[in-house]
A and B are shown apart, each in its own frame.
Chain A
Amino acid sequence: GENVEQHPSTLSVQEGDSAVIKCTYSDSASNYFPWYKQELGKRPQLIIDIRSNVGEKKDQRIAVTLNKTAKHFSLHITETQPEDSAVYFCAAKGAGSYQLTFGKGTKLSVIP
C-alpha cells in the first residue's frame, strides 16, 4: 500500500518568514495530494490540494509543488503569521482509490 513520509516533524519560524514542509510517497500511481491544517482540538481542514497533472498550485500565501518523478510534494507558506501555527498533514491518494494515506504531521510554530 501507499506510504507517506513527512518532514520535519516540528518547525519554528519567525513571523513573516517562509515555511516549507516536504512529503514523499511510495505509490507512483497516486494522483491526488491534499494538505490539511489541524489546530489544537479541532478538525483537519483542507487548505490546498494538487493533482498529478499539475506541477504547482498557489492560493494567496500558500503554494504546493509536486515532483512526480521524485515522488515528492511540498507545502510552502510565505509571510507566516501567528495564526498559521498548527499541525499540517500531507496525504496521498492512489489512482482508482478513494483512500487517503496521511503523513505523521508537522507542528508549525510561528513566533511573533
Chain B
Amino acid sequence: EAGVAQSPRYKIIEKRQSVAFWCNPISGHATLYWYQQILGQGPKLLIQFQNNGVVDDSQLPKDRFSAERLKGVDSTLKIQPAKLEDSAVYLCASSLDSFGGGVSTDTQYFGPGTRLTVL
C-alpha cells in the first residue's frame, strides 16, 4: 500500500512569512497527526484529527498555527507568521484506528516530513 505523502519536502522562508504543508494519509486511515520534530528531539504532537474532527490540539500554538482536514482525507498545516523557533521537521502520520476483530490498528505510519528553515 502507498505510504503517507507530504509536500513540500523542504521549505526555506523568512521570519514573519507564512507557509503551508500538505499531507495525504494512507488510504482508509481515520486518524491523522501532525508532529513537530526539532533537531535532536523526538516528535511532538501538534494536532490530531479523527476523520475531519479535531481530537487534540492542546499543543498547537493557535496564535500562529492552524490545520484543517477537509473531507476527512488530506490535511494542511499552516504557520502564519513564522518565527525562527519554528525551524523543524514537520511530520504527518496516520493510523487506521478501527476497533474490532481483536486486531490492533493504532500503529502510526509516518510520512517523510517537511524540513522548514526560518531565516
Contacts and interface: CB of A to CB of B under 8 A. Distances in A.
A91 B110 CA distance: 14
Contacts of B44: 102
Contacts of A99: 45, 48, 56
Interface residues of B, number: 25
Contacts of B31: 98
A43 interface: yes
A43 B111 contact: yes
B42 interface: yes
B91 A44 contact: yes
Interface in B99-119: 104, 106-113
The prevalent SS among residues of A at the interface is: strand
- Which of B45, B104, B108 lies at the interface centre, i.e. has the most chain A CB atoms within 10 A of its CB? B108
Interface string A36-62: 100000111110010100000000000
Interface in A80-112: 89, 91, 93, 98-105
A44 B56 contact: no
B74 interface: no
B2 to A, nearest CB: 14
Interface string B70-114: 000000000000000000000100010100000010111111110
